[in-house]
Amino acid sequence: MLCLMFPSKQTSCTLKNRNADTVVVLDYETTGLSPNLGDRGIEIGAVLLQSGRVTDRFQRLMNPGFKVNDFIAEYTGISNHMLSTAGCCESATRDFADFINGHNLVAHNASFDRRFLDAEMQYAGRSYDGSFACSMLAARRLYPQAPNHQLGTLVKYRALDNDGVFHRALADAEMTALLWLDMLKVLGEQYQLEQVTFNTMQRLTRTAKGAVEKFCRRQAVIAVS
């Protein structure tokens, strides 16, 4: 019988109160849109931010046990030949579980990545103790004038340094990390929020767009009270 260990409420609460500049930013490349339809991860990429600095990276190709279609191969640049020599999803996920242990998690369109992380963790018999925040939802509130809120568009809109590589997991994770730190900088410059907790960022993503300024100014008052 498969037995998964889940984090305690105390652990989850402690992590949510951690500064938002200490997180793991991750990205999945997958065979399709839904693990419920049998899709699997084919690549995990992640960076560990600690106090706003990249201190570690994780990248792993994963063999899903079946061939990816031509669209996915072209979209991601990950060929069936590349996957033929990769290890299984379960092995990569067990290593990734160790990498993210004790950290909160950020992804762009996080609901997608979370579905695949949860599914792959279940296959691997592992779990994680951090919470998720979505950089796309945060960007919709902090950059309302952006043409759209796709990762590539936001990187260009904010003039963030990049090498032009997208749709590979580590490259996208690195770009998302830069975007995340840029949003924390915006909160500091516009609202004098110098120490932003992860929980504050989660709440920001759930705040109505018209109430964002009021929310941020309220958090600034709380921070100095």
Start-to-end CA distance of the chain, whole Å, equals 51
pLDDT of 2 above 70:
no
- The pLDDT of 74-100, averaged and rounded, is 97
Distance in angstroms (rounded) separating the CA atoms of residues 209 and 190 = 16
Phi then psi dihedrals of residue 32, to 5 deg: -175, -160
DSSP tag of 47 = E
> Band of the pLDDT at 223, cuts 50, 70, 90?
confident
Q: Provide φ and ψ at 80, rounded to 5°.
A: -65, -30
Q: Please write the tens of the pLDDT for every residue from 109-131.
A: 999 999 999 999 999 999 999 99
What is the rounded CA–CA span in Å between residue 90 and residue 107? Answer: 21
Please state the rounded mean pLDDT for residues 167-187.
Answer: 95
For residue 4, pLDDT beyond 80: no
Q: Any bridge partners for residue 134, and if so which?
A: 107
- Cα separation, 88 vs 71, whole angstroms: 22
User: What's CA 182's distance to the chain center, in Å?
Assistant: 15
Task: With cut-offs at 50, 70 and 90, classify the pLDDT of residue 194.
Answer: confident
Class assignment of domain 17-183? alpha beta
| Residue 224 or 209, more confident | 209
* Residue 26 binned pLDDT confidence (cut-offs 50, 70, 90): very high
Domain ranges for the chain, please list them: 17-183
Residue 45 and residue 85: Cα distance in Å, rounded? Answer: 18
- SS3 at position 77: coil
Kindly state the helix (H) or strand (E) to which residue 43 belongs, with its residue range.
Answer: strand 41-50
Compute the distance between CA of residue 42 and CA of residue 28 in angstroms, rounded to an integer.
Answer: 8
